[in-house]
Structure 1
Amino acid sequence: MTDLAHVYWLGGGTGGGKSTISRRLADRFGLRRYDTDRVMSDHTARSSPGETPYLQHFLAMDMDERWANRSPEVMLDTFHWFRGEAFELIVEDLLSLPAERVVVEGFRLLPELVEPLLADRRQGVWLLPTPGFQRAAFEQRGSLWDIAGRTSAPERALGNLLERDRMFTERVTGQTDRLGLTGLVVDVGRTEDELADQVAELFGLT
């Protein structure tokens, strides 16, 4: 899609370092940065109920129903952002920005949705964190219990969330492999500088 030829897409599993790496790239190469996590509330408000059934169902549930009382498999298959709901609003936002280079990041950038928009396939990279890296990242941020701690069964909810996220990363890996896109495994021991350098090289920025 030539209208988005100036966009660099950085997707992948939760806790994979997308925000950190996108900030580093934006600072180093003078890119605008678009964080899809920060606009989730706005996109929820702008969404048409008839076109976002999974989102509407999610909004109607309490915290236990969302995170503690359902299996990780059900959580994965019914989570609205994992289903690509409201992805068109990301595209709408990007098209409304000035036509200058921008790095867009977030787990909502599913490979199968981004692939048709790539003018240059090098401009899409997906970070694929290992379970150990994910947990370490959440612990380092102090956010490990942010969601699970608001349920009546925190331990079970946390286990569900971590397993759901592991399976989501596995799903993203499968999509990148099937589509011939670039997936980058992120494991404990890799520094932020090393990861930023590698993503910049894959994007063709260096």
Structure 2
Amino acid sequence: MSKEAGIFWIGGPAAAGKTTVSRLLARKHGFLWYSVDAHTFTHEQRAAAAGRHVLGTGPGDFDRGPMILEDIHALPVDTSVVVEGAFVTPKIAGVAANAVWLMPSRDEQLARLEHRHPGGVHKDYVWGWNLVQSQLEGTNATVVVVDGQTVEQTLTAVEQSFGTTLESSPAARTTKARQSLIRISNHQLAKQATERLRLGLNKQNCVFDCECAQANCTEVVELAVKEIPTLLAQAPPSIVSPEHSKLT
């Protein structure tokens, strides 16, 4: 990552809309999307190698902050990066204009989680709301309350929060450059999904970003994990939604 490139941080608890909004923000503005969740197993392996974690015992309680920062600064890109995840805290991101937290009320979060997980909501999701709220208390962090908002409304609110910095930050300007950024994120999603499947923790399918690389694209592509190695071996755009295949 070049010294000129910027970092945009988006935090919040489960079901706040972090992932969806971050992916769309990155695509629209030609930035790289970095999902903290997609690096979970990579971080576990690094922590285990350092003697701070035992593989196979869950996500662990080691500090992922330094790893996230190391990852970002080691990225082979000259564009800005959108970093999102529940592990995005004011301690890591700061509370300047390039950081925002999406917060649903407790009732809103529960309603979204019940819709997402009709079989039952895990208590850790609700516990996470309390954790994020406690991290924000007493800070000047920018918070967007997402209750009743559509994805488009939340995206607009985040863009307004980041202001003119979005337009002045280094970005991919060509389709090929945008496709390369999306491929980096898709490759990490595939790595995470493959590891989870190997451990019996993942479904057979995973959701990837459409590599048509159009700024207004909102499509994702659900693929069987076993299909991914073949597709990733091809130059982008090899992962494209049927609706956008004619654009590539």
* TM-score (norm. length: structure 2): 0.57
Deviation at 1:8, TM superposition (A): 0.4
Partner residue in 1 for 2:146: 186
Corresponding residue number in structure 2 for 1:91: 69
Displacement of 1:51 in angstroms is 6.7
Q: Does 1:106 align with 2:85?
A: yes
Whether contact under 8 Å (1:135, 1:144) holds in the other structure is no
CA displacement at 1:193 relative to structure 2: 0.7
**TM-superposed deviation, 1:17:** 0.5
**Paired residue secondary structure (1:107):** coil
CA distance in 2, matches of 1:104, 1:166: 19
1:125 paired with 2:100, answer: yes
Report SS of the residue matched to 1:19.
Answer: helix
Matched, 1:202 2:161: yes
CA contact (8 A) 1:15 1:137 kept: yes
> Match of 2:38, SS?
coil
Question: Which residue is equivalent to 1:21?
Answer: 21
How many angstroms apart in 2 are the aligned matches of 1:123 and 1:42?
A: 26
Runs of 4+ that moved beyond 3 A: 2-5, 48-52, 58-61, 142-145
Structure 1 residues 144 and 199, CA, compared in 2 at 3 Å: closer, same or farther? farther
Gaps of 5+ in 2: 168-248
Partner of 1:74: none
Alignment of 1:1-206 (within 5 A): 3=3, 6-48=6-48, 52=52, 56=54, 60=57, 80=61, 85-97=63-75, 98-115=77-94, 121-142=96-117, 145=120, 158=122, 160-174=123-137, 178-187=138-147, 189-204=148-163, 205=166
TM-score (norm 1): 0.68
Of Structure 1 and Structure 2, the greater helix share is in: 1
Bigger RCO of structures 1 and 2 (CA < 8 A, at least 6 apart): 1
Quote the Cα distance in structure 2 between the aligned partners of 1:202 and 1:85.
28
- TM-aligned CA distance change 1:172 to 1:144, over 3 Å: farther
Secondary structure of the structure 2 residue equivalent to 1:122: coil
Contact 1:12 1:18 in 2 (8 A): yes
Say if 1:8 and 1:104, in contact at 8 Å, map to a contact too: yes
Conservation of the 8 A alpha-carbon contact between 1:13 and 1:169? yes
Amino acid at match of 2:97: R
- Deviation of the 1:59 alpha carbon: 5.5
Q: Structure 1 residues 139, 91: closer, same or farther in 2, change over 3 A?
A: same
Deviations 1:135-192 (CA, angstroms, capped at 9, x unpaired) = 22223333763xx6xxxxxxxxx4x435412312321331xxx3322122221x2111
The amino acid that maps onto 1:184 is V
Aligned length: 163
